[in-house]
Each structure stands twice: as structure tokens, then as C-alpha cells.
């Protein structure tokens, strides 16, 4: 397909064709005729009409062929504007005959390419020719043009100004034919260069018009480079010709110095040369140069206009081909991901229908396979997110190409292919996400069903065993106990809530398996209910008439075996209450004791009620929190994938969607599918039984899910970047404002993005309230363990949040590993070791951040507004460089970090914890980090040493034994304080043993 519209090409082509014709003169082809002086043109004019002179040259005959050749050339010498006015012709035949006059006039009548204003004839002056003119000759001459016959030069001067006539006609122009021809040769060389350049440019534009778009990026890049090179060559040639033209014009003006005027300025077409002291022929040559320069300017203008359009379209073609190439690459990756997702084991391949009813080991193996598949699916999901981001970027690039093409108002080449590809990209993204989500949902569903079906299988096996072990003929007591066991057994089935499996839409073959399980459960349940009915008949009491009898005398040796000593749950609670109030006076009267027992029961009831209120608050607020997260995801995040919505968003917001929302979907998935369900199950179970264990159940829920709360670490780390994206690009944008109005939210999105951080801080308050209203010691211990877990999580998140405010560190913070501890306002003394002498160099107050690989010493910067808190990086201590971490001089209110050349003595500031406990925690944590580093380097060293030959390995082992030097502290007389300082070299294999020796020495010092 061509690059240009037909009318655009015609406009460029016709203009250049006209210039091509204008510059096609060649004086060399008519030099012989011009030298015969049969006709010439001096450049003089009469009323703007160029004057063409046929001098009187009777010695050489002017034939019609010579006439046509001369006229064809000489009439092209004046400019186009001058030719439009018409020509004035002077025929000098004073020394010739009337026959010659008739011949020249007939030639003019037959052929003259332009209009003629007037012909001035100087008639023959010989006495015979004058006589003939009075007879018949004048009557025989016929001319369609205006013909004025002059007998003398004076009559000619009456019509024409002598300044416009050559000297042979009595004028003032000293016309030198040979000089005129030489100057014309020079000028026409200039025009010939213009002619040739114009011809090349015509071919170039025609080729561009007829060019077809290549199908590869490399081909279009080659064309773009080639055309750019040609454009540069055209510009250079135009500049050369323009310089030549200006130089020639200066020569004509008799200016021997080169013009210092910039040749880039276009010569004024109306440049008036009458102010120059030039003869008519020089003026004509100057006008010819100016005309040539005007042609150059026109060519330059056309080239510039053409290139501005051509370059845009070539670049658009290049961008289009690059878009198509990237599209094919992304499409291929999408297909690979589709295939990899499909190859993962699913319900059809993972279910071997009745493995669940055979052994627990098979259940566990099946769940491990599902977990492994989920891990693989998560890895695929990460790759999918990466390619989805690339696809989103490519879609934005395609839309930008369309908008740019529409803005340029050029041919919409390729737009019809870009839009379908953008739509296909969106469909591929949607399909891949749905495929991964469906696969993950099916696998998680399968895992849940395996657990539930395993529980149901255990229930069925227990039921079969109970029915098989119970005897049909039972006494009343045994029948009652058996009935109670069966009723509890049936209650366990209702707690398992197997009915939800029946109403869940599940694919085959899982659906068939569930139906078989239900049939089996129904069979066991029917058998149990029938057995219960039989047992109820056995335990029915026989009512007899009441008889009045006299009481028997009391006997000491009589036992109380008839009294039912079975204690009901209420009696158990009463007994426990009595034990708790045993400290009261047992000699008090029965009434007072009864009142005290009653008040304690009321107190315990009130405590249980308050605890249930806290549990209800925990559940309700969790439901509200999950609903708010769902609103953010469905109300905002999903709209980013809606084609009708995201077109209004700038690419910078679309690209930073992940930064804006972080891992909010993962947090929502954890709370909605796991944590909230656990709380609801605990709450529902507490309605069926007493509340004795509800606190322990909630505590177990927090402890069991503590690893899931690590999701908040990523959210906290990303929060500052999310706030930056919101403030810079999103705040006040119509996209978010419209969604806020449609959702009925009073606050913008950024307020809702704070919900996860607010929620994680609420759990510790609710747990404290629950501990406050807990009566049972074991339950309180469990809740305190859960509170300890949450407080540790909050402390870690607080440290993470503060670590995001570190500025000035030259590398990325994520390379340092996880943050382990943070110390505020610590007094640090730095000592330098020279030989065996320590010299204190500096004492300063710093905030310390302990990462897995490095300790950062920072200076806090706080302007007091609460928003500008920053930590300016000052110094770092590599964990791998630490030789010893211990107490200095047995001062347990400080701890010391010993390096090769330096020692840091750190005094922590108290935050409610004792200084000794804080120091011990810091020392232990640093030692753990050192141990991790040692293990890592040991693994690296083992890997490196495995590639060495035995002799090299033995030589390196001998060298490592020479690396340890000892240093005695001059400030202490305690021999235990003389610690060996290891010279640690991270580039050698002996680092692991050196670090291990340093740690052992520090431990022995402790």
C-alpha cells in the first residue's frame, strides 16, 4: 500500500516537474548559432517586455531551421514572468533586402512560442530597396502582429529608449556576445545542477509514493535509515548549489569577496535590481541567478514538506510493525501459559474417586499433590501477571498509535489492524486470568472437599463400629449411655454441615462422588436413628403409684449407692465456683453463703456476656472489614479492566495499578475465605455449647493464621509508593470521583486503602478486651499467646513502616533482607582499634535498623508535623564483618559489636522493656543473623570447593588456619575479656570457620 494520497503526490510532482522544465536550457547546443550573431537578447525590456533583436547580418543566411533553434533557446532566457508580458522584436535589415524581411516575418508568423507585443522593422536603406518599397514590396508584406516600420534609427528611438538598445542600434548597451555566452554557460551549469537534483528528487518522491510497507521491523528500519540518509544528502546538495548560486550572483554584481550573508534565507522573488549599477545584460544574468535560487528554495520547501509527512508515516509504519511483532511474541507467551495451566493436574486427573475412603495416608498424599500444584499455579500466576502488564502496555501503545495518527490527520494505515489486536489482547488477558482463577478455585475446592470427605468417612467408620459393637440386649443404664453416645454421634454430623456440599455447584466427577458419599451417610444415619429409637424404648421409665411410707431409722453402715451422683454441666460450674470462693469464711451462715454463691453466679454470667459481646464485635467488625475490601476490589480494581472505563485513564495510572492497590486481593482472599470463616464457625459452635472454650478457639485461630498475617508486610512496604501514586496522578481524577459517587462513599479511595493498616491494629485491642473478661486461667493463657503473636506482628510491621522512610542509602533496601529489630534514640560510641589500643572517635545518637545482612545507623529527621519523619542514612555495619557481639566489660546495660578495626558500644533507650532484656534480645538476634550468614557462606564455600582438585583444597585449608589473630584489650584485666578478633575475608573459603570461632568466643565470654 502506498504512503500518500493521490492529490498530495500530484502536488509535489507537478511542482518539481515545472522546475525540471524551467532548468532544462542548454546554451551549448546553440553556441554556434549565437556566435553567428543572427539573433540575440540583451536582457533589456520595453514596458517589462523582453527585447529580442535580429541584427543586420547579410553575410549569413538565416534559415528557418536556424531560426527555430535560436528562438526556442532565446525565448527561454527571460524569466517566466517576463515571458508572460510578451516579446518586443527588433528586425534590423538596413543593409539587406526586402526578401530577407519577408523571410524573417514569415518565420515569425509560422513559429514563435510566446506572444508578441510589437515588431519594429528597420527597413532596407539602399536606393534600390527604397524604390522598391514605394512600389509594391510594402503591400506584399503581411503580418498578424503589430508591425512598425522605421526608416531610420531616430524613428526607432521615438518608440524605444536608447538605454534599452545595443550600440549597433544607436543605443547605450555595449553588448559583448562572447562574454554573454560565457556567463550563460556558467549560469546554465548552475541550472543544470538544479535540473539534475530535481530529477533525482522526482524519482525519490515517486519511489516513496509507490513503496509498499514491509512486513518486518528490520525491513522498515532499513528503509527508514536509507531514506533518512538520502534526505541528508539532498540537504547537503541543496546547500552546495545555493552557495554556488550566491557566489555567482556576487560575481555578476562584481563583488569579488564571498558573501557573508547566510544562504539559508530565501531570496526575495521581488528583489529589485534596478538599484544596482549593472548593464541590461548583467541585470538579466542576475535575474537568472535569482530565478535559479528561487527554484532552489522551492525545491528545498517541497523537500521539507514532503519529508515532514514521509518521516511521520515511516515512523508510524515502524511503530506499527514493532507493535505487530510484540503482539506476536506476547500472543505466543499467552498460548504457552494456556498450555501450562491446562497441563496442571485438575479435578479430572487429581481425583481417584474413592481414595478418600481407604486411608488417611492417601488423603494426605492427595493434599500434598494439590498443594504442590497450587505452588506451581502461583508461579504461573506471577509469570502471567508479568505478561499481562506487558500486554497492557502494548494495548496502551496501540491506542496511542491510533490517537497520534488521528491527530496528524494522515492516512489511517494500520488502524483497522491495531484495534482488533488490542481487543484480542484484552480477551487473552481475561481468558488467562479466568483460567488461572478457575484452576485455583477448583484445586482449593478439591482440597476442602477432600478434608470434608475425609471427616465424613471417619464419621461413617465410627458409626459402623459403634453399631457393630453395641449389643441389642442392654440394661437401662447401658442403653441410656449408648443412646447418649449415638445422639452425640449424630450431633457431630450436624456440626460437619455436610448439606452445603449438596447445594454447591461442583463439576464432574466430584459431583458423582458427593452423591455417593451422601448415600453412604444417609445409610449410616438411618441405621443410627433406628438404633436410637430402639434404645429409647429400652430406657423408658415405668411409672408406679406413689406410696406413703415411714422413714427408716438412720444406720451408720448404710451406703449411699442409690443416690445419682452424676454431675451435670451446670453442677460442674457450680462446683468450680464453690472452689473459687473457698477463701471466704466457711463458718458463715447458710443464708449468707447462699447469697454469696448467687452473686458470684451473676458475676460470672456478666463476665461471659461481656466476653460474648467482644466476640460478637470481633465477628461483626471482621464482616464489615471484608465487605469494605470487597467493595474496593469490585468497585475500583475491576473497573481498571473494563475497556469502557480504562480509556479515560492515562497510561501512567494503568501501569501503576499494582502499586496503587498492592496485594489487597491477597489480603481479601485470606480474610474472606479463611479467617472470617474460622471466626464464624467458632461463633456458631459457641451457640450450641457453653462458652468455656470460645476464647481458646479464637486464640488458636490467630495463632494458626499468624503466617497469613505476613501479607500485611508487603502492603505496608508498598504503602508510601501507593500514597505517592495517589497524590500525583489519581487524586481528583474523574474516574475515581465517579466510582466514589456510584458506590456512595463519603471518603475517596485513599481513605479506604488505609483500612488494612487500621484493621491489623484493632485485633490487639479486641484480644485485650477478651482477656479482661475471661474467667478461666487456661483460656486466658491461650489468649495471651495470641496477643503476643499479634503484638509481634504489629511490632514488625511498625519496624517495616519505619524502614520505608530511610533515605540516602545508596542501594535498594530489599537487598538487605527482612528487618529484624529497630532501636530508637540509641547512644552509640564508636572506637577505633590500632594494634592493641582502642581510641574512642565519636559518640552520637542514632536510630538502628537491624536487617538480616546489614545494620543501618540513621539519624532521625522530624519537622514536628508528623508527616515528614525520615531517617537519614549515616553508616552501616555488615553482619558478615561482625566478629563479636557481647557485653562490654560485663556491663549488661550496653552491648558491643566488634569488627576488624572498629568497635561499636550501643546503649539502647527503654521502651517499657528492661534494658537487660532488650540487650539480650539484640545480642541473640544479631547472633542468629551471623549464624545465617555463616550457613549461607558455608554453602557457597562448599559449592566452590567441590570444583577444586584435592591439592588446591588442602592448600587452602592450610592457609585458613593462619587467619586468626588475637587482640588484648588494654582497658580490662579480666582474662575472659581478651577476645580473639577474627580477620574476616569474604573472598576466601575460610569465612565460615572464622565467623564460627568468633561466635564461640563471644558465647564463652558470656
Query: 874: closest CA among 841, 904, 848?
Result: 848
124: left (phi over 0), alpha (psi -120 to 50) or beta: beta
Q: Which of 402-411, 412-421, 936-945 has the lowest mean pLDDT?
A: 402-411
Asked whether 440 and 402 are in contact (CB, 8 A), the reply is no
Same domain, 715 and 764: yes
Same domain, 793 and 662: yes
> Number of structural domains, the chain?
5
Cα–Cα distance measured from residue 456 to residue 329, given in angstroms and rounded to the nearest whole number: 49
Q: Which of 523-532, 617-626, 783-792, 931-940 has the lowest mean pLDDT?
A: 523-532
CATH of the domain at 913: 2.30.29.30
Question: Which whole number is the average pLDDT over 381-409?
Answer: 83
Query: 93: closest CA among 162, 36, 150?
Result: 150
pLDDT at 1005 over 50: no
CATH of the domain at 708: 1.20.900.10
What angle do the packed helices 590-632 and 676-688 form, to 10 degrees? 150
Question: Which whole number is the average pLDDT over 260-270?
Answer: 41
pLDDT at 304 over 80: yes
Tell me how far CA of residue 381 lies from CA of 19, 334, 428, 434, 952, in angstroms: 65, 12, 14, 11, 46
Q: pTM for this one?
A: 0.40
Residue 966: CB atoms within 10 Å = 11
Instruction: Categorize the per-residue pLDDT at 630 as very low, low, confident or very high, splitting at 50, 70 and 90.
Output: very high
Same domain, 532 and 615: no
Task: Measure CA 364 to chain center.
Answer: 41
Residues of the chain above pLDDT 70, percent: 73
Asked whether 95 and 56 are in contact (CB, 8 A), the reply is yes
Tell me the HSE value of 357 on the side-chain side, using a 13 A CA sphere.
14
Bridge-based pairing of strands 87-92 and 49-54 is parallel
Residue range 828-840, pLDDT digits in tens: 888 877 666 666 6
In this structure, what C-alpha cell is assigned to residue 683?
Answer: 461463633
pLDDT at 794 over 60: yes
**Residue in the block written with cell 498578424:** 144
Query: 184: closest CA among 59, 40, 299?
Result: 40
As beta bridge partners, residue 89 has 52, 119
What is the 8-class DSSP label of residue 505?
-
The residue segments making up the domain with residue 206 are 187-322
Question: Which whole number is the average pLDDT over 567-585?
Answer: 35
Same domain, 302 and 373: no
Query: 774: closest CA among 793, 759, 789, 787?
Result: 787
In this structure, what C-alpha cell is assigned to residue 993?
Answer: 570457620
Q: Is residue 867 part of a domain?
A: yes
Residue 989: CB atoms within 10 Å = 20
Q: Is residue 590 part of a domain?
A: no
Q: Is residue 331 part of a domain?
A: no
Cα–Cα distance measured from residue 900 to residue 980, given in angstroms and rounded to the nearest whole number: 10
Residue range 660-672, pLDDT digits in tens: 999 999 999 999 9
Burial of 292 (0-12, 13-18, 19+ CB in 10 A): buried
Q: Which of 755, 770, 801 is the last residue of a domain?
A: 801
Q: Is residue 51 part of a domain?
A: yes
Q: Is residue 857 part of a domain?
A: yes
Same domain, 886 and 868: yes
Residue range 846-901, pLDDT digits in tens: 999 999 899 999 998 876 655 568 889 989 999 888 888 888 877 788 888 888 88
Same domain, 762 and 834: no
Residue range 179-226, pLDDT digits in tens: 887 777 888 788 788 888 888 888 888 888 777 777 788 888 888 888
Greater model confidence, 278 or 467: 467
Q: Is residue 447 part of a domain?
A: yes
Query: 517: closest CA among 466, 456, 583?
Result: 456
Same domain, 349 and 306: no
Q: Return all residues near 152 (Cβ < 8 A) that are at least 6 apart.
A: none
Cα–Cα distance measured from residue 340 to residue 331, given in angstroms and rounded to the nearest whole number: 14
Same domain, 162 and 193: no
Residue range 224-243, pLDDT digits in tens: 888 888 889 888 988 888 88
What is the torsional sign of CA 789, 790, 794, 795?
A: negative
Tell me how far CA of residue 308 lies from CA of 231, 305, 312, 315, in angstroms: 11, 5, 6, 11
Tell me how far CA of residue 702 lies from CA of 767, 783, 871, 990, 999, in angstroms: 10, 9, 33, 44, 36
Same domain, 824 and 959: yes
Instruction: Categorize the per-residue pLDDT at 87 as very low, low, confident or very high, splitting at 50, 70 and 90.
Output: very high
Q: Which of 221-230, 383-392, 415-424, 551-560 has the lowest mean pLDDT?
A: 551-560
Q: Which of 582-591, 726-735, 834-843 has the lowest mean pLDDT?
A: 582-591
| Predicted local confidence at residue 569, as pLDDT | 34
Q: Is residue 407 part of a domain?
A: yes
Q: Degrees (nearest 5) of the Cα angle 641, 645, 650?
A: 90
CATH of the domain at 75: 3.40.525
Query: 830: closest CA among 843, 848, 847?
Result: 843
| Predicted local confidence at residue 712, as pLDDT | 92
| Predicted local confidence at residue 699, as pLDDT | 92
| Predicted local confidence at residue 273, as pLDDT | 41
**H/E run at residue 64:** helix 64-74
Q: Is residue 961 part of a domain?
A: yes
Asked whether 691 and 612 are in contact (CB, 8 A), the reply is yes
Q: Across all residues in the chain, what is the average pLDDT?
A: 75
Q: Mark 61-79 as b/e (b = at least 16 C-beta within 10 Å).
A: ebeeebbebbbebbbbbbb
Same domain, 60 and 158: yes
Cα–Cα distance measured from residue 842 to residue 831, given in angstroms and rounded to the nearest whole number: 7
Q: Which of 129, 148, 174 is the last residue of a domain?
A: 174
What angle do the packed helices 991-1005 and 915-945 form, to 10 degrees? 160
CATH of the domain at 403: 1.20.58
Greater model confidence, 993 or 893: 893
Query: 992: closest CA among 965, 955, 957, 968?
Result: 957
Contacts 24+ apart (CB under 8 A), 438-444: 439/341, 439/344, 439/346, 439/377, 440/374, 440/377, 440/381, 442/346, 442/347, 442/507, 443/346, 443/350, 443/370, 443/373, 443/374, 443/377, 444/374, 444/673
Same domain, 198 and 276: yes
Q: Which of 85-94, 694-703, 968-977 has the lowest mean pLDDT?
A: 968-977
Same domain, 822 and 928: yes
Residues of the chain above pLDDT 90, percent: 11
Q: In angstroms, how far apart are the furthest CA atoms of the chain?
A: 199
Q: Return all residues near 306 (Cβ < 8 A) that are at least 6 apart.
A: 12, 205, 208
Question: Which whole number is the average pLDDT over 135-146?
Answer: 64
Q: Which of 174, 205, 223 is the last residue of a domain?
A: 174
Amino acid at each position: 500500500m502506498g504512503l500518500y494520497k493521490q492529490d498530495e503526490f500530484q502536488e509535489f510532482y507537478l511542482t518539481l516537474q515545472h522546475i525540471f522544465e524551467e532548468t532544462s536550457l542548454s546554451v551549448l547546443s546553440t553556441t554556434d548559432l549565437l556566435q553567428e550573431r543572427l539573433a540575440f537578447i540583451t536582457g533589456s525590456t520595453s514596458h517589462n517586455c523582453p527585447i529580442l533583436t535580429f541584427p543586420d547580418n547579410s553575410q549569413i543566411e538565416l534559415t528557418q531551421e536556424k531560426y527555430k533553434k535560436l528562438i526556442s533557446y532565446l525565448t527561454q532566457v527571460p524569466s517566466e514572468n517576463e515571458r508572460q508580458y510578451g516579446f518586443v522584436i527588433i528586425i534590423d535589415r538596413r543593409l539587406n533586402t526586402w526578401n530577407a524581411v519577408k523571410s524573417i516575418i514569415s518565420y515569425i508568423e509560422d513559429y514563435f512560442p510566446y506572444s508578441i507585443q510589437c515588431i519594429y522593422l528597420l527597413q532596407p536603406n539602399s536606393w534600390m530597396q527604397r524604390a522598391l518599397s514605394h512600389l509594391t514590396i510594402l503591400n506584399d508584406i503581411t503580418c498578424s502582429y503589430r508591425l512598425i516600420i522605421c526608416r531610420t534609427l531616430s524613428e526607432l528611438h521615438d518608440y524605444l529608449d536608447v538605454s534599452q538598445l545595443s550600440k549597433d542600434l544607436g543605443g547605450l548597451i555595449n553588448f559583448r556576445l562572447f562574454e554573454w555566452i560565457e556567463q550563460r554557460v556558467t549560469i546554465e551549469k548552475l541550472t543544470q545542477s538544479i535540473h539534475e537534483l530535481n530529477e533525482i528528487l522526482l524519482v525519490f518522491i515517486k519511489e516513496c509514493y509507490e513503496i509498499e510497507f514491509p512486513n518486518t521491523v528490520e525491513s522498515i528500519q532499513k528503509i527508514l535509515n536509507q531514506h533518512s540518509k538520502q534526505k541528508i544528502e539532498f540537504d547537503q546538495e541543496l546547500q552546495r548549489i545555493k552557495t554556488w548560486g550566491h557566489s555567482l550572483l556576487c560575481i555578476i554584481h562584481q563583488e569579488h569577496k564571498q558573501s557573508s550573508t547566510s544562504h539559508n534565507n530565501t531570496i526575495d522573488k521581488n528583489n529589485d535590481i534596478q538599484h544596482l549599477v549593472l548593464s541590461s545584460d548583467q541585470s538579466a544574468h542576475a535575474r537568472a541567478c535569482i530565478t535559479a535560487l528561487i527554484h532552489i528554495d522551492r525545491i528545498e520547501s517541497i523537500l521539507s514538506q514532503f519529508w515532514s509527512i514521509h518521516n511521520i508515516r515511516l515512523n508510524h509504519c515502524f511503530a506499527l510493525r514493532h507493535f505487530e511483532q510484540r503482539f506476536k511474541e506476547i500472543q505466543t507467551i499467552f498460548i504457552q501459559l494456556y498450555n501450562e495451566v491446562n497441563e496442571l493436574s485438575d479435578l479430572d486427573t487429581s481425583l481417584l474417586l474413592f481414595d478418600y475412603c481407604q486411608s488417611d495416608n492417601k488423603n494426605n498424599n492427595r493434599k500434598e499433590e494439590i498443594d504442590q500444584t497450587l505452588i506451581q499455579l502461583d508461579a504461573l500466576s506471577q509469570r502471567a501477571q508479568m505478561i499481562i502488564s506487558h500486554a497492557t502496555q502494548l494495548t496502551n501503545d496501540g491506542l496511542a498509535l491510533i490517537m497520534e495518527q488521528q491527530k496528524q490527520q494522515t492516512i489511517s494505515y494500520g488502524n483497522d489492524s491495531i484495534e482488533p489486536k488490542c481487543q484480542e489482547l484484552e480477551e487473552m488477558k481475561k481468558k488467562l486470568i479466568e483460567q488461572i482463577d478457575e484452576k485455583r478455585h477448583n484445586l482449593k475446592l478439591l482440597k476442602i472437599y477432600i478434608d470434608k470427605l475425609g471427616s465424613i468417612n471417619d464419621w461413617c467408620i465410627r458409626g459402623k463400629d459403634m453399631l457393630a459393637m453395641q449389643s441389642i440386649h442392654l440394661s437401662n443404664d447401658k442403653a441410656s449411655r449408648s443412646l447418649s453416645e449415638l445422639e452425640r454421634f449424630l450431633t457431630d454430623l450436624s456440626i460437619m454441615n455436610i448439606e452445603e456440599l449438596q447445594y454447591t455447584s461442583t463439576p464432574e466427577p466430584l459431583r458423582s462422588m458427593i452423591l455417593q458419599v451422601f448415600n453412604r451417610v444417609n445409610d449410616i444415619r438411618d441405621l443410627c436413628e433406628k438404633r436410637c429409637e430402639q434404645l429409647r424404648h429400652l430406657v423408658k421409665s415405668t411409672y408406679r403409684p406413689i406410696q406413703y411410707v415411714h422413714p427408716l431409722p438412720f444406720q451408720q453402715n448404710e451406703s449411699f449407692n442409690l443416690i445419682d451422683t452424676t454431675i451435670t454441666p451446670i453442677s460442674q460450674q457450680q462446683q468450680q465456683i464453690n472452689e473459687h470462693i473457698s477463701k471466704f469464711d466457711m463458718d458463715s451462715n447458710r443464708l449468707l453463703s447462699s447469697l454469696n454463691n448467687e452473686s458470684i453466679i451473676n458475676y460470672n454470667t456478666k463476665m461471659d456476656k461481656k466476653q460474648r459481646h467482644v466476640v460478637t464485635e470481633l465477628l461483626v467488625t471482621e464482616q464489615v472489614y471484608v465487605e469494605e475490601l470487597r467493595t474496593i476490589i469490585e468497585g475500583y480494581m475491576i473497573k481498571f479492566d473494563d475497556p469502557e472505563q480504562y480509556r479515560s485513564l492515562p497510561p501512567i495510572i494503568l501501569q501503576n495499578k499494582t502499586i496503587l492497590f498492592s496485594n489487597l486481593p491477597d489480603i481479601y482472599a485470606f480474610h474472606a475465605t479463611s479467617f472470617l470463616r474460622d471466626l464464624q464457625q467458632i461463633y456458631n459452635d459457641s451457640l450450641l455449647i457453653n462458652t468455656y472454650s470460645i476464647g481458646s478457639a479464637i486464640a488458636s485461630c490467630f495463632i494458626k493464621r499468624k503466617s497469613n498475617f505476613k501479607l500485611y508486610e508487603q502492603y505496608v512496604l508498598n504503602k508510601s509508593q501507593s500514597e505517592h501514586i495517589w497524590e500525583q496522578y489519581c487524586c481528583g481524577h474523574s474516574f475515581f470521583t465517579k466510582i466514589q459517587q456510584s458506590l456512595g462513599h463519603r471518603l475517596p479511595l485513599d481513605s479506604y486503602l488505609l483500612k488494612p493498616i487500621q484493621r491489623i491494629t484493632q485485633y490487639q485491642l479486641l484480644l485485650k478486651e477478651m482477656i479482661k473478661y475471661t474467667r478461666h486461667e487456661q483460656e486466658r493463657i491461650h489468649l495471651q499467646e495470641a496477643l503476643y503473636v499479634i503484638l509481634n506482628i504489629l511490632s514488625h510491621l511498625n519496624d517495616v513502616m519505619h524502614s520505608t522512610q530511610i533515605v540516602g542509602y545508596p542501594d535498594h533496601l530489599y537487598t538487605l533482607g527482612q528487618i529484624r529489630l529497630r532501636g530508637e534514640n540509641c547512644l552509640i560510641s564508636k572506637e577505633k582499634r590500632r594494634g592493641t589500643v582502642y581510641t574512642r572517635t565519636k559518640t552520637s545518637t542514632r536510630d538502628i535498623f537491624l536487617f538480616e545482612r546489614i545494620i543501618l545507623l540513621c539519624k532521625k529527621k522530624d519537622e514536628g508535623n508528623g508527616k515528614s519523619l525520615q531517617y537519614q542514612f549515616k553508616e552501616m555495619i555488615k553482619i558478615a564483618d561482625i566478629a563479636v557481639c557481647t557485653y562490654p566489660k560485663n556491663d549488661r546495660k550496653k552491648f558491643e559489636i566488634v569488627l576488624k578495626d572498629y568497635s561499636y558500644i550501643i546503649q539502647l533507650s527503654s521502651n517499657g522493656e528492661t534494658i537487660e532484656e532488650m540487650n539480650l534480645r539484640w545480642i541473640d538476634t544479631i547472633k542468629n543473623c551471623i549464624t545465617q550468614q555463616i550457613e549461607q557462606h558455608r554453602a557457597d564455600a562448599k559449592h566452590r570447593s567441590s570444583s577444586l582438585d584435592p591439592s588446591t583444597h588442602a592448600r587452602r585449608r592450610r592457609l585458613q588456619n593462619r587467619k586468626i589473630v588475637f587482640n588484648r584489650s588494654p582497658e580490662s584485666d579480666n582474662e575472659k575479656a581478651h577476645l580473639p578478633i577474627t580477620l574476616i575475608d569474604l573472598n576466601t573459603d575460610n569465612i565460615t570457620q572464622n565467623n564460627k570461632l568468633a561466635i564461640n568466643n563471644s558465647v564463652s565470654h558470656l
